[in-house]
Each structure stands twice: as C-alpha cells, then as structure tokens.
Chain A
C-alpha cells in the first residue's frame, strides 16, 4: 500500500509537539496529534518529541502506550524519538530510571551534556543528509552504548547523538527547533523504504 502523503502521529502528551507537527507538514506529511493509544492504528509513523522524559514516560505508562507503541514498532512502521524521545525508546538508561519502550538497542545517558547552562547549538556533520545540520542540544542525552545492529549516523565531540536501528530513528538534538526539515524528510523516507 502506498499513499500520496503519509500520516505521521506526534505523541502529544507533553513537550515540543507543535514544532514537530509544523516540520512534518512542511516536509509534506499529514499530522495527527496522538493523545490516546487507539490513534496509533491510523498512522504510518510516530514521533516521540522532546520534552521532559520523566513526565512523558509516566503519562505513557498511565495511558497504556507502552505495549501499543511496542506493537506499532514491531509492525515495522517507523518511530523517531528526539531528545526525551531518544530516552523513551532506549533499551537501557544509564544510572537512572527503568527504561520505557525498549525499542532500540542503545543505552541512553540523560542530561549527558549537562544542565541548561551547558545547553548549546553546534554544526553537525551528518553523512546521511549529505551536509551539515544545526543541532540544538537542550539538557541533551547522548547514546552511551550502541548495540551491534545500530547505525550511528552522527557524533559530536566523540559522543553518539544520532542513530538508527531498522525502523527506529533517534536524535539527541532538536531539529524541530530549526526551520530545517531535512531530518523529518529523512524520517519520511523511512516510510517509503518500507512500502517499496
């Protein structure tokens, strides 16, 4: 089944929801704000946005999202987590709480780059985009350990900050806070890979 314009859900429990929605729309996708697990049935891909990971995690548990999102990912449909979303999909969290979704074979370190005053922006070299990309890192995590099946797509300062394992994509930074939609376009291309 191929569709002209895919519908991407943005998990709308808390965080930078509308920025992801805007970036997806300008990249040519239809957007659904996902507030309940039942909505996952009608979407082609899911974004777990940046926000406060403990808040998003608690609400995912409370509303029954954990198993639904695992089933969604197991069906092969793509999931993209940025910042808090990276933490949400990780198999393990370094020195911290229990993991949430365990979709990706990575260990995530929360607030790895420091507190807000250490938050920064930097030009990143991202070979899959074929050029540099401005990364905005806010109390950002990094990938402490990536499993053998994980493709590390970008590093900064020796730390893994963008990666993909099959249909799961993560960034430690926030492309939705820039006007640059190339990472959202890359995510949309993951849907096309699946339907081809």
Chain B
C-alpha cells in the first residue's frame, strides 16, 4: 500500500533540495535559464520581489497559465507562492500540481491573524521566519520547510543574516535549558511546547532551513551557507542582475563550495553587475515585507 502526502514525504523533498539554489522566475524562458544554470527548483511568481516593491498595490498568486507553462518547461520541482492565509490560492496551486507552496510575505497577506492550516494538504509548504518562535509556529501549522524572511527585493542580505543568527542563537539557547524551563521558553517565544522540546534536545529545527530575502551575489550565498542554512532562495538577485545566466551559475557553484573562498572568488569574476541594492533603514517601516505574518 502506498501512502502519499506523509510528513516524511513532504520534508523529504526539502531534504533533496539541500545544498542547492531555488530561483524566482516569472515565465518559462526564465525557468529554463534557471534550470540550465543548475537551480534545484524554481519559484513561479508574477513579478520578482523588487518589482512588487516598486509597483505597490496588491501582490497575488501568479496566473495559473504561467505556472503550468513553467511546469511543462522544466523538469526540476516547481514551487509557487500563495498569500499568507489565502487557503483558496493554496488549493488552486495544489490542484495545478505544483511541488511546493511558499506561503509568502512577499505577496500581500489575505489574513492578518491566521496562516494556512498546512497539515490539510498533500502538497508541502515552505514558510518564512525571522526567529525561532515564528519558525516553530509555522512548523506547528504543518510547514515542511522553513526559510529566513530576510527583506525580499532589496538585494541587501543584512536581514537574512539577522534572521538566521537569531534562529541559531535561540536554538543554542534552548539546548542549555533544564526540562523545567522549557514551558516558560515555549510561552515566551509563543511556540508549540513539543517543538520547543524537540529543538532543546537536538539543537536544530526538525525541517530543512533555507536562506531567503536579499541574496544577490555568490558571496551572499556563501555567507548564508557558512551561517548554517541548508540552501538558498534567490529572488530578484538573478533576473535583476545584468547577466542572469552567469550570475545564476556562479551562485549555484558558490552554494556547493561555500567553504572554498578561492572558488567563490573565481566564480564571482566577470558575471556582470548584481542587482542594485537598497539600504533597509531607508525603507518606510510600513513598506517592510518581513513584518507581514507573525
């Protein structure tokens, strides 16, 4: 008897993506460039985050026709974004047969209080987190993969670094607590007790954790890998650079050989200009994407 959609099968795909780069694409041509460059998966969306930021208005799930076209074009897994709490978009994406859903703060949230009940789906979900409590809440809701939120569309890695360091430090903090201190920790971080207990025991998240939000160069990818993420998402960083194919290939190599500075130096040469970056402090607080969701 075959059993589909089990937790092991959902988290298992994320395990297979480890050490790889997942690239944002907005059409089939870009998806092909990403696949040819060695992407382990592509993320289908209507506009890359920096364009969403520039355009303003409401950002929604991509057109199903575009998603289907991308699925037909590439053989790597195809992910797609749904709005936070928009379980109808998630059902639509599931019915299209996408391989992963990103319940993403990059799109305009549909529900300011509740995220999607991700246990209820056969398709696995990835969700963003800024700290351990947020990561464990999403896992408690059924997320099979976590990523840092970073600050998408800025080409500035500082927020992804902050989020990864925060998660790592909070996990380390839990490992030295006594059993009797764990309930207080769970209460303080607003996270499910059983998951807090599991992290206290193992020192790591029970699911794969990727970097996302602001990664724009091979060096950024290497930095995040050295901080302990399992792989990287690159959003605007590929197709907002001057030479997307070269940039994509170089970020793939830098992610594989993140510890080899000479190799990262070599692949960083002659790959055009990265996307133009933004200073986070110059962004209005209301325009920050990372504060969407809780």
Note whether A and B form a binding pair: yes
Q: Which residues of A contact B (CB under 8 A)?
A: 12-19, 35, 50-52, 54-55, 58-59, 62, 83-84, 96, 110-111, 115-123, 136-139, 156-157, 174, 177-178
Once the chains bind, are A116 and B38 in contact (CB under 8 Å)? no
Interface centre among B19, B99, B123 (most CB of A within 10 A): B19
Once the chains bind, are A16 and B75 in contact (CB under 8 Å)? no
Known: A16-B16, A52-B40. A116 touches B123 (CB 8 A): yes
User: Could you tell me how many residues of chain B have their Cβ less than 8 Å away from some Cβ of chain A?
Assistant: 37
Once the chains bind, are B75 and A54 in contact (CB under 8 Å)? yes
Give Cα distance in the complex from A110 to B16, angstroms: 15
Once the chains bind, are B15 and A16 in contact (CB under 8 Å)? yes
Known: A15-B18, A51-B18. A136 touches B123 (CB 8 A): no
Chain B residues near A178 (CB-CB < 8 A):
8
**Who on chain A is nearest to B12 by CB?**
A138
* B39 contact from A18, A55, A117, A138, Cβ within 8 A: A55
* A138 contact from B1, B16, B18, Cβ within 8 A: B16
Q: Which residues of B contact A (CB under 8 A)?
A: 1-6, 8-9, 12-13, 15-20, 35, 38-41, 75-77, 94, 97-100, 122-124, 252-253, 256-257, 260
Known: A51-B40, A52-B76, A139-B77. A177 touches B4 (CB 8 A): no
Chain A residues near B99 (CB-CB < 8 A):
115-117, 139
**Who on chain A is nearest to B252 by CB?**
A55
**Who on chain B is nearest to A96 by CB?**
B75
* B12 contact from A59, A62, A110, A174, Cβ within 8 A: A174
Once the chains bind, are A119 and B257 in contact (CB under 8 Å)? no
Chain B residues near A137 (CB-CB < 8 A):
2, 9
Once the chains bind, are A120 and B2 in contact (CB under 8 Å)? yes
Chain B residues near A122 (CB-CB < 8 A):
1-3
**Who on chain B is nearest to A178 by CB?**
B8
Distance to closest chain B CB from A104 (angstroms): 21
* A116 contact from B2, B3, B77, B253, Cβ within 8 A: B77
Distance to closest chain B CB from A63 (angstroms): 9
Known: A59-B38, A59-B256, A120-B9. A54 touches B76 (CB 8 A): yes
Distance to closest chain A CB from B256 (angstroms): 5
Interface centre among B3, B8, B123 (most CB of A within 10 A): B8
Chain A residues near B257 (CB-CB < 8 A):
35
**Who on chain B is nearest to A53 by CB?**
B75
Q: With contacts A14-B19, A116-B98 known, what are 4 further pairs, Cβ within 8 A?
A: A17-B19, A52-B17, A54-B35, A137-B2
Give Cα distance in the complex from A134 to B97, angstroms: 25
Give Cα distance in the complex from A115 to B253, angstroms: 26
Once the chains bind, are A177 and B39 in contact (CB under 8 Å)? no
Give Cα distance in the complex from A180 to B178, angstroms: 31
